[in-house]
């Protein structure tokens, strides 16, 4: 943004609101809020009011009527319903990257996809080795995830020292990692499958696809179809959040603007006649500009602040409340905690670096522009910040093992903190070495 544009933007914002405006526009803001929510959850869960923390999460909430009544604790509403919106946003981002972004062609996608694959396989193997022959082996996918908000947030805090190519690489890697996480959740963490409801979910997805093909663009219509799809998926035994990904897959990515509308807009701009800009014409232009954006673009743009500033902090507040007591010492040494820490701190960077090397060696890829192997190593450590998705998977893997969930949360917090700190140190040291 130029200094003129920056000045004009500042004039349009009230002086008292400018610091908040700058904060919320920063790439790091989502990660900072996530960190604040995490610290708040830890303090609350270990304060004299710890009982209220668990009581609030266990508060029963009902929605619907008669046989269509859905009753769940607040924690489950957050993890099953609110996170479905998060997965919708993730699905939209994945779809955009597959269509026009860094994953749009194999040549572009090879590096981040193979790096992400390595970053999933090696942590899973380390966790499996630590938990072989035990019921907790079911949690093998916990350390395979990357928290894109935390990872990108930390990278943004490092400022202009980070090459743009490295930021793009980490973003594409995290999105490919999210795609892998979605597949893992759908395949390995489904409950008892009800064939009738699963068929209904497939039918509802086809209805939504047909609606998109028919030109239906209104957000209310898509929200209604999304709710019906969520109900079907929830009843089918597949985790309800997959409904968000399924809906994202069929949301139209094409513009509704016709060639004639584009010509009218071009002609109107070329005439440069302010006297022709009457209120009806301005409204028509506004409508045409809106219709030129695809539903995918509009929904992704609308959901982004809600996900970053509301959904993810609320999820962290509800899930990061680990109680530190006399049993914590033994929990740190449990196979679950050790497996997760090893997976995030060692498995992720080893897997990402091996995947990066494989893509360069056998797929004709090259290091991101401006990057060195030491900076790639730092980014691979940032990929070890599992947090949001790791917490989510731990709840699925150990749904009936509360002790294992507590150990998993502890491992996720410790592993993510170590990986993030180590990533910053490695990057600063490599950057100082390259600049000297």
Question: Taking all residues of the chain, what is their mean pLDDT, rounded to a whole number?
Answer: 85
Q: Is 243 a member of any domain?
A: no
**Range from 48-57, 106-115, 283-292, 303-312 carrying the lowest mean pLDDT:** 283-292
Q: Which helix (H) or strand (E) holds 175?
A: helix 164-188
Cβ–Cβ < 8 Å for 73, 61: yes
Full residue range of the structural domain in which residue 156 is found? 44-180+308-435
Q: Is 251 a member of any domain?
A: no
DSSP one-letter code for 257? -
- 172 token code pair: 């594409």
pLDDT of residue 413: 94
Query: What is the distance, to the nearest Å, from the Cα of residue 154 to the centroid of all Cα atoms in its chain?
Result: 15
Q: Is 234 a member of any domain?
A: no
Give the integer Cα–Cα distance in Å for 27 and 21. 12
For residue 74, what are the contacts with CB-CB under 8 A and spacing of at least 6? 56, 57, 58, 59, 60, 61, 318
Chain segment 339-381, per-residue pLDDT in tens: 999 999 999 999 999 999 999 999 988 988 888 899 999 999 9
Cβ–Cβ < 8 Å for 293, 266: no
The CATH number that applies at residue 120 is 1.20.1530.10
Q: How many domains does the chain have?
A: 1
Q: Is 190 a member of any domain?
A: no
Cβ–Cβ < 8 Å for 108, 363: no
Cβ–Cβ < 8 Å for 109, 345: no
Give the integer Cα–Cα distance in Å for 29 and 15. 20
Chain segment 147-166, per-residue pLDDT in tens: 888 888 888 778 777 888 88
User: Which residue, 113, 87, 83, 86, is CA-closest to 98?
Assistant: 113
Q: Is 158 a member of any domain?
A: yes
Give the integer Cα–Cα distance in Å for 424 and 357. 22
Q: What is the pTM of this model?
A: 0.84
**Range from 67-81, 93-107, 223-237, 282-296 carrying the lowest mean pLDDT:** 282-296
Q: Is 110 a member of any domain?
A: yes
Confidence of residue 271 (pLDDT cuts 50, 70, 90): low
Q: Is 115 a member of any domain?
A: yes
What number of other Cβ atoms are within 10 A of residue 302's Cβ? 11
User: Which residue, 339, 317, 312, is CA-closest to 398?
Assistant: 339
Q: Is 349 a member of any domain?
A: yes
Chain segment 190-240, per-residue pLDDT in tens: 878 899 999 999 999 999 999 999 988 888 999 999 999 999 998 898 888
């Amino acid at each position: 943004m130029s200094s003129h544009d920056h000045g004009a933007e500042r004039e349009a914002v009230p002086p008292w609101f400018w610091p908040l405006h700058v904060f919320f526009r920063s790439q790091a803001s989502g990660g900072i809020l996530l960190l604040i929510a995490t610290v708040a959850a830890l303090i609350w869960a270990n304060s004299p009011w710890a009982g209220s923390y668990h009581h609030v999460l266990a508060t029963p909430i009902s929605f619907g009527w008669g046989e269509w009544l859905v009753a769940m604790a607040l924690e489950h509403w957050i993890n099953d319903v609110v996170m479905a919106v998060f997965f919708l946003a993730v699905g939209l981002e994945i779809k955009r990257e597959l269509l026009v972004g860094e994953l749009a062609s194999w040549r572009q996608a090879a590096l981040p996809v193979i790096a992400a694959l390595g970053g999933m396989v090696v942590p899973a193997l380390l966790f499996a080795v630590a938990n072989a022959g035990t019921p907790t082996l079911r949690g093998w996918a916990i350390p395979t995830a990357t928290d894109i908000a935390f990872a990108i947030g930390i990278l943004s805090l490092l400022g202009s020292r980070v090459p743009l190519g490295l930021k793009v690489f980490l973003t594409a890697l995290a999105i490919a990692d999210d795609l892998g996480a979605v597949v893992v959740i759908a395949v390995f963490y489904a409950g008892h499958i009800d064939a009738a409801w699963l068929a209904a979910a497939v039918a509802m997805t086809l209805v939504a696809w047909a609606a998109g093909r028919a030109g239906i663009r209104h957000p209310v219509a898509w929200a209604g179809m999304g709710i019906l799809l969520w109900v079907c998926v929830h009843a089918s035994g597949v985790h309800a959040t997959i409904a968000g990904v399924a809906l994202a897959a069929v949301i139209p990515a094409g513009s509704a603007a016709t060639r004639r509308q584009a010509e009218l807009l071009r002609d109107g701009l070329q005439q440069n006649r302010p006297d022709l800009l009457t209120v009806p014409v301005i409204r028509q232009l506004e409508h045409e500009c809106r219709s030129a954006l695809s539903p995918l673009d509009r929904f992704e743009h609308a959901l982004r602040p809600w996900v970053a500033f509301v959904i993810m902090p609320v999820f962290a507040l509800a899930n990061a409340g680990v109680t530190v007591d006399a049993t914590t010492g033994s929990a740190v040494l449990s196979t679950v905690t050790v497996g997760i820490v090893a997976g995030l701190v060692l498995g992720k960077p080893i897997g990402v670096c091996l995947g990066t090397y494989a893509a360069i060696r056998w797929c004709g890829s090259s290091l991101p522009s401006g990057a060195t192997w030491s900076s790639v190593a730092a980014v691979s450590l940032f990929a070890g910040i599992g947090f949001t998705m790791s917490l989510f998977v731990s709840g699925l893997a150990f749904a009936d093992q509360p002790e294992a969930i507590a150990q998993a949360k502890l491992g996720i917090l410790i592993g993510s903190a170590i990986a993030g700190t180590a990533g910053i140190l490695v990057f600063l040291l490599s950057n100082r070495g390259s600049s000297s």
